[in-house]
Amino acid sequence: MTLVAGVDIGSTTAKCALIEDGRIVGKSLAPVGVELVKDAERALEQALAEARRDRGEVRVVTGTGYGRFKVTFGQFTVTEIGCHAKGAHFLFPGTRLVLDIGGQDTKAIKVDPNGEVVDFAMNDKCAAGTGRFLDVCAGALGYDVSEIGALSLGARHPVKVTNTCTVFAESEVTSYVARGKDPKDILAGLYGGIVSRSLSLMQRVGVEPEVTFTGGVSKNEGMVRTLERRLALRVNVSPLSQYVGAVGAALYGLERPTGAPA
């Protein structure tokens, strides 16, 4: 029995997944602060506590995410592109295209039948169309981001949100609120814009079923429905969608020559 850990230090959250015998046996998720090394340590400790396991039992720790070099106690680092491909393939083996929308970037990743990366496209120039963008716009509407997913579902007259810059979009949302627009219609407008930008990334690598949606934004039901409508496809979303990078990182650890215990 080999216990491996993946630690994903993203722009907003730290995630850890523990895998043993092809099963996820522990996980953790917490916001990141300024001390990323400590956040990474805590992510592993919390996942171990959930799994009731000791650190000495972990064979390999693999770091991923934008802060992967802060997983200083790990043996390897792998880019989040490879990890999302591998993690999505583990959860949905038929995956051919991964759309990952996290706190600060969006990636479209084409994968082969073995879960290896074939091609990818990403937008990391600014927060446009990412989790951070939705966090800010949810705030302007007076909601937490976890509440706005279901809210847009009954939208009848989506507004057009023209600004892609987070700061300008926030004031556009505020002005729609002041004009008495229904939050449902404002959210539907926001989701429509984000999905359009995501689709252009996906088209750059080629849209091919099955599509698996990963990252924190995939927890937003309104975003999932909008994406499905525009693709005219059902999209895979796991209850563990925010952990996919950490899951992929843990799986990479199984392919390495055995490292020293963490």
Q: How far is it, in rounded angstroms, from Cα 114 to Cα 105?
A: 25
How many residues bind ligand ADP (CB under 6 A)? The answer is: 21
Tokens of 21: 């015998």
Which of 5, 6, 10, 158: binder of ligand ADP (CB under 6 A)? 10
Among 104, 163, 164, 174, binds ligand ADP (CB under 6 A): 104
By CB under 6 A, tell whether 77 contacts ligand ADP: no
From residue 147 to residue 166, the character string flagging contacts with ligand ADP as x (rule: CB under 6 A) and all else as - is --x-----------------
Count of C-beta atoms within a 10 Å radius of residue 146: 12
Say whether residue 215 binds ligand ADP (CB under 6 A).
yes
Residue 131 binds to ligand ADP (criterion: CB under 6 A): yes
Q: Determine the 3-state secondary structure of 252 from DSSP.
A: helix
Task: Please say which residue, 3 or 217, places its beta carbon nearer to ligand ADP.
Answer: 217
Q: Which of 29, 11, 78, 15 is nearest to 251 (CA)?
A: 78
- Tokens encoding 120: 């990818």
Q: Which of 11, 77, 163, 174 binds ligand ADP (CB under 6 A)?
A: 11
Nearest residue (CB) to ligand ADP, 66 versus 92: 66
Q: Provide the H-helix boundaries in the chain.
A: 36-51, 80-91, 131-141, 148-151, 166-178, 183-205, 221-231, 244-255
Whether residue 133 contacts residue 145, with contact meaning beta carbons closer than 8 Å, is answered with no
Residues lying near ligand ADP in the complex (CB under 6 A) are found at 10-13, 65, 102-104, 131-132, 134-135, 145-146, 149, 215-217, 219-220, 242
